[in-house]
Amino acid sequence: AQKITQTQPGMFVQEKEAVTLDCTYDTSDPSYGLFWYKQPSSGEMIFLIYQGSYDQQNATEGRYSLNFQKARKSANLVISASQLGDSAMYFCAMREGESGGYQKVTFGIGTKLQVIP
Amino acid sequence: GAVVSQHPSWVICKSGTSVKIECRSLDFQATTMFWYRQFPKQSLMLMATSNEGSKATYEQGVEKDKFLINHASLTLSTLTVTSAHPEDSSFYICSASLLAASTDTQYFGPGTRLTVL
């Protein structure tokens, strides 16, 4: 079974609107971490936001927020007030197990977001 | 923030030659570095995990004799693609784990695009 599922290969959003990128995950480990990364056409992977499995509140970082629904095993990324520079590939990723050492991170296949002027 | 550099950013080589890619954490010490490979329009595939002062841990299906990894110091890991062939052409990207409290966030280098003729 896929550990990280991103079902939207491509998304369009109007500039200044909000957009939600879907991510569901599969794990039996009670301790895990969820990440979102942005990859523009230049190729670099940019860390956006992190959510721990024990975190009580949804993570937020500026215009990025993570809609964490633990029972549904979903960790959707919400980008508010989209900007042209947000056009990129977005990857959801998961670390299983406790932090504090080497833990393998599994990436989803990504969602390509295009912001329309 | 945590900055990871990679060198070179791109390289073109002849079939049969070896290519070395460097990954450096610039403003933090990274006991663990990761090497990924990414084919066009696909997700990141973990190749190996590199721990300072010890042998790298390779993922299943990755040839350790072909992809030599050396983690010489807390800020430098190198990936050498030995006897490169056209099928090794890909985007190689490293990351370093910043052991911040309960996150294990990986910060990525800008990537190296390898083309083998």
At A58-87, the pLDDT tens digits run: 999 999 999 999 999 999 999 999 999 999
Strands A19-21 and A64-69: unpaired
**Residue spans of alpha helices (H) in chain A:** none
Are the beta carbons of B109 and A44 separated by less than 8 Å? yes
What integer pLDDT is reported at residue B101 of this predicted model? 46
Q: What is the pLDDT of residue B102?
A: 54
Using only C-alpha atoms, chain B has a radius of gyration, in whole angstroms, of 14
At residue B94, the pLDDT reads 95
| Chain A residue closest in CA terms to B90 | A43
Q: What is the mean pLDDT of chain B?
A: 90
Q: CA A104, B83, B78 angle in degrees (round to 5)?
A: 40
> B8 pLDDT band (50/70/90 cuts)?
very high
Share of chain A above pLDDT 90, in %: 83
User: Each residue of A32-63: pLDDT tens digit?
Assistant: 999 999 999 999 999 999 999 999 899 999 99
Of B110, B106, B112, B114, the residue nearest B86 (C-alpha): B114
What digits encode the pLDDT tens for the residues A5-26?
999 999 999 999 999 999 999 9
Closest-CA residue of chain A to B93: A44
Q: Is the pLDDT of residue A89 over 50?
A: yes
Q: Please tell me the distance from the alpha carbon of residue A52 to that of residue A96, in angstroms, as a whole number.
A: 10
Q: Which among B57, B93, B103 has the least Cβ separation from residue A99?
A: B103
Mean pLDDT, range A103-114, rounded to an integer:
91
Q: In this structure, what DSSP letter does residue B88 have?
A: G
Phi-psi region of A71 (alpha: psi -120 to 50; beta: other; left: phi over 0): alpha
Interface test with B, best of A61, A102, A109, A112 (most B CBs within 10 A): A102
Q: How far is A92 from chain B (nearest CA, A)?
A: 10
Mean pLDDT of B15-42: 91
Comparing A100 with B113, which gets the higher pLDDT?
B113
The pLDDT tens digits of the residues spanning B73-116 come to: 889 999 999 999 999 999 999 999 866 545 678 889 999 999 99
Give the pLDDT band of residue B1 (cuts 50, 70, 90).
low
Cβ distance of B105 and A109 shorter than 8 Å: no
Nearest CB to A44: which of B32, B34, B111?
Answer: B111
Distance, in Å, from the CA atom of A64 to the CA atom of B90, rounded to the nearest integer, reads 30
Instruction: Report pLDDT for B53.
Output: 79
Nearest chain B Cα distance for residue A109, angstroms:
5
Nearest CA in chain B to A88: B41
Share of chain A above pLDDT 70, in %: 95
Distance between A2 CA and the closest CA of chain B, angstroms: 13
User: Are A17 and A33 within 8 A, CB to CB?
Assistant: no
Q: Count CB pairs under 8 A between chains A and B.
A: 61
| Residue of A44, A101, A110 with shortest CB distance to B108 | A44
